[in-house]
A and B are shown apart, each in its own frame.
Chain A
Amino acid sequence: MGLDALFEAFLAVLNGGSLLFLMAGVLLGLTFGVIPGLGGTTALALLIPVTYTLEPLDAMYLAGGVMGATSFGGSISAILLNTPGTAPNAATTFDGYPLARQGKAGLAIGASATASALGGLIGLFTLLLFIPVAREVVLSFGSSEFFLLTILGLAAIAVSVKGKLLRGLIAACIGLLLAFTGANQFTGETRFTGGMNYLWDGIPLVPALTGLFAISQMIELALKGGSVADEETRSAAENMKITGVGEGILAVFKHWPVLLRGSLIGTVIGAIPGLGGTVASFLSYSSTAQTAKDRDTFGKGNIKGVIAPEAANNAKDGGSLIPTVAFGIPGSAETAVFLGILVLHGIEPGPQILLQNEREIYGLIVALTVSAIGASVLGLIFARFLVLITRIDVNIVVPVVVTLSLTGVYVLEGRMADVAVATIIGIFGYLMIRFDYPRLTLVIAFVLGEIAERSYHQVRLISDGNVLEYMLGRPISVILIVATIVTFFLPAMRKIPWRRLTGSAS
């Protein structure tokens, strides 16, 4: 058990057949990652029926390949088109896209690939460290901690929209409204459904994200015309060779504290079921941007703004396996599908999953490791060609992206209504861009709203109504409350002229 098993799993993957499944997974993951709106969950959900005929271990390789590769794939579209390929890549657009417009897409992709690979490795390494105490970790995160984490996430958004606080709050409220659509978990009553069966389960995530990120950005690009890269930088970049990839790799090593912090945030958030990569990468981005000395350059093409979210985004896969090895429960949508694959093979996930299904679990860990590195290497090799996308006329880019995204939305559940939702939200998203409302605020509120509501009601019932008293009795809850307060007041505290204060004191 332990390292021996892991070593054996690494040797096992070198078998020709296994490696083939893994590489197929990586390519598939990259493709689904690059296509805006579609992510790892979509790819895995579509793969489930295929894995039925595979050996459980081969299914793990395929699934792990997909999981490890999507987030890097998604960063490519985030950087080149300002359209996150998957929701967690949304934070990467803040600095990645400005870099692309400055003709430095190679730098951004190089940094993203390296941060993704290293973040993934750090996440898995942390998972291995956590395995002995995974049970305690999971048991110490209850409804109270879930609720406070969502509040911390919402607080981080509130302070991160510089100078647009009101617009940010309005967008967040719309996000909450959308999140509360459908059946109330507590009363079973339906809300805001307008009598439509379709809305019973709430507004589906994939169509909503596709609309908000992909469709809206494509409307914006189509109306603007030209190509993604600025005319001036374009001609300047044409004179230069498309380089900067190497520089991007070095940037990650130069800013290693950013990488490390992002990876740790990713692992911890990944371990909490339901929060997922969007929150992890966003918290990593905002904490880096808030504490950096050069914080004014964030949003204008700071490479640290690419490293932070991408490291967190890949590290969360390792983290999301912590609840899985402890109790057989999924830490993310992707691990949920992965557990589904096990069930399909007659393996019932439970608290003894690591003892009984060591082969499959270690197989998945190995697949994730190889995939994170493999996807990044592929990305680095092809970076110079991918960058050319920013020079293609948008009249070609827009129809291709819109068709791929909407087809993907339809294929997932086979519902035309999903396509309609993506389109309507897309138009709404364009209006948000046009009137300068932050879309990410809406997304985070949309993702967190349901968990926040649900866990709040749980705490209320569990604590017999004494919510605050109950929370203050739990150490991790107290830490989270303090973190939330600090997040809120950090920007204000910075404005206090500390040096003068301490100077006058002495």
Chain B
Amino acid sequence: MKKILVTGATAIALTVGGAAQAEFPTDDNITFVIPYSPGGGFDTIVRQFAPALETAMGTTVVPENISGAGGARGGQAVHRSDPDGYTIGIYNIPGLTVNEVTGRDQGFKLDEVTWIANLAVATYGLAVAVDSGINSVEDLCAMGQPTKLSDTGATSTASVTTRITFGILECDIVDVTGYAGSNDAMIAVISGEVNATIKPISSLAKYLDGSGTGDLKLILTLTEDEAVTGVPSATDIGHPELAKFTLNRVIGGPPGMTTEVVAAIEEGLRAASEDPSVTSWADGAGISLAFMGAAATASMMDDLSSFYEQYKDLAATAE
């Protein structure tokens, strides 16, 4: 009897399959995988979005930290889960893209991920010490010896950006990596250990004149248009391709998610990104929210892969 009931129930479920999917996400909690430990940038943005996403989608969102292997372990966990929409994750982009083009096996392929949205974009700037006497990229590259820059790890996005940028500019550099965090790397410029650093403009702001302590000054922004008054952009110095370097907070899911489920999560995230609790937090924390839907995110990911593919030799060489 029980068996018959089960079979019957299955049959009904199959016929109303379309309807059941439209009801996503009512059956379960949504697990939001963060591939880093609590307290970092990725963790923070997910935890800020989670309550607003809950309200928008009408189900509980559970942030889960699965850290390790430079963000690859969390990505693998999402990759292995069912593509039912109940597991999504945030990805370190372009960190993972660079790893992939330089031939590191991360346990999953980025082009298999179902891309859902991009939450925020950070743009980079090149800064020097305010009393360094250096006022432009030409000054920096004409010191008679290789320019020294500071970064966290050799595989960090900022370090890769630094190497490729100066490679494109045909300027000799020594990228001094190993600083504990981007703050430490900026302090190394202030204390005179190194000449300059490329960091997200929002991070540099704390040390710039006007918005911060005035220890550093910007001499270039890696943007298409003028981002900071009086500071040349990538276009101004004749290398608009440098504006491709950005730091993204991209959301994705396991391979093979249906378009309905993707659309539902995309809408939820879009609503969350406009929620006052999220926008006011972003203002305070210096995060530039820049929502991008599934289609735009997927094409950006393709773009990034081919962009970094061009420069993979520069990306792979350290020192």
Inter-subunit contact B154/A186 (CB<8 Å): yes
Q: Does any Cβ of A come within 8 Å of B236's Cβ?
A: no
Inter-subunit contact B206/A328 (CB<8 Å): yes
Q: Does any Cβ of A come within 8 Å of B135's Cβ?
A: no
Q: Does any Cβ of A come within 8 Å of B190's Cβ?
A: yes
Q: Does any Cβ of B come within 8 Å of A432's Cβ?
A: no
CA A352 to CA B63, docked complex, whole Å: 31
Q: Does any Cβ of A come within 8 Å of B213's Cβ?
A: yes
Inter-chain contacts of B303 with A (CB < 8 A): none
Interface hub of B41, B68, B191 (most chain A Cβ within 10 A): B68
Inter-subunit contact A197/B177 (CB<8 Å): no
B204 CB → nearest A CB, Å: 10
Q: Does any Cβ of A come within 8 Å of B93's Cβ?
A: no
Inter-subunit contact A336/B178 (CB<8 Å): no
Q: Does any Cβ of A come within 8 Å of B70's Cβ?
A: yes
Q: A52-B47, A188-B155, A198-B69 are in contact. Are A348 and B286 (CB under 8 A)?
A: yes
Inter-chain contacts of B48 with A (CB < 8 A): 344, 346
CA A249 to CA B241, docked complex, whole Å: 68
Q: Does any Cβ of A come within 8 Å of B174's Cβ?
A: yes
Question: Which among B11-19, B114-122, B180-188 touches the partner chain?
Answer: B180-188
Beta-carbon contacts under 8 Å, A338-374 to B: 339-341, 343-344, 346-352
Beta-carbon contacts under 8 Å, A29-59 to B: 45, 48-49, 52
Q: Does any Cβ of A come within 8 Å of B67's Cβ?
A: yes
- Output the nearest chain A residue to B183 by Cβ-Cβ distance: A329
Q: A49-B38, A142-B188, A187-B318 are in contact. Are A461 and B174 (CB under 8 A)?
A: yes
Q: Find B153's partner among A138, A188, A273 (CB 8 Å cutoff).
A: A188
Inter-subunit contact A49/B47 (CB<8 Å): yes
Inter-subunit contact B180/A201 (CB<8 Å): no
Inter-subunit contact B68/A455 (CB<8 Å): no
Q: Find B183's partner among A197, A340, A347, A350 (CB 8 Å cutoff).
A: A350
Beta-carbon contacts under 8 Å, B70-104 to A: 70, 72-73, 76
CA A197 to CA B79, docked complex, whole Å: 15
Q: Does any Cβ of A come within 8 Å of B53's Cβ?
A: no
Interface string of B251-286 (1 = CB under 8 A from A): 000000000000000000000000000001110111
Q: A139-B190, A200-B68, A462-B148 are in contact. Are A188 and B318 (CB under 8 A)?
A: yes
Q: Does any Cβ of A come within 8 Å of B32's Cβ?
A: no
CA A100 to CA B134, docked complex, whole Å: 63
Q: Find A329's partner among B67, B145, B181, B215 (CB 8 Å cutoff).
A: B181
Q: Does any Cβ of A come within 8 Å of B107's Cβ?
A: yes
Q: A186-B318, A197-B69 are in contact. Are A327 and B178 (CB under 8 A)?
A: no
CA A344 to CA B47, docked complex, whole Å: 8
Q: Find B148's partner among A343, A348, A461 (CB 8 Å cutoff).
A: A461
Inter-subunit contact A462/B176 (CB<8 Å): yes
A251 CB → nearest B CB, Å: 38
Q: Does any Cβ of A come within 8 Å of B44's Cβ?
A: yes
Inter-subunit contact A185/B178 (CB<8 Å): yes
Inter-chain contacts of A48 with B (CB < 8 A): 38-39, 43
A245 CB → nearest B CB, Å: 38
Beta-carbon contacts under 8 Å, A196-230 to B: 197-198, 200-201
Chain A residues within CB distance 8 Å of chain B: 45, 48-49, 52, 138-140, 142-143, 183-188, 197-198, 200-201, 273-274, 327-330, 336-337, 339-341, 343-344, 346-352, 413-415, 454-455, 457-458, 461-462, 464
Chain B residues within CB distance 8 Å of chain A: 37-41, 43-44, 47-48, 63, 65-70, 72-73, 76, 107, 145, 148, 153-155, 174, 176-181, 183-184, 187-188, 190-191, 193-194, 206-207, 212-213, 215, 280-282, 284-286, 316, 318-319
Extra pairs beyond A350-B212, A351-B212 (7, CB < 8 Å): A143-B193, A186-B178, A197-B72, A344-B48, A351-B215, A413-B65, A462-B193
10 A-B contacts, Cβ less than 8 Å apart? A139-B190, A143-B188, A184-B154, A186-B154, A188-B316, A188-B318, A340-B38, A344-B43, A348-B206, A350-B183
- Shortest beta-carbon contacts, A-B, top 10: A340-B39, A350-B206, A48-B38, A346-B284, A454-B178, A188-B154, A346-B281, A188-B155, A197-B69, A200-B69
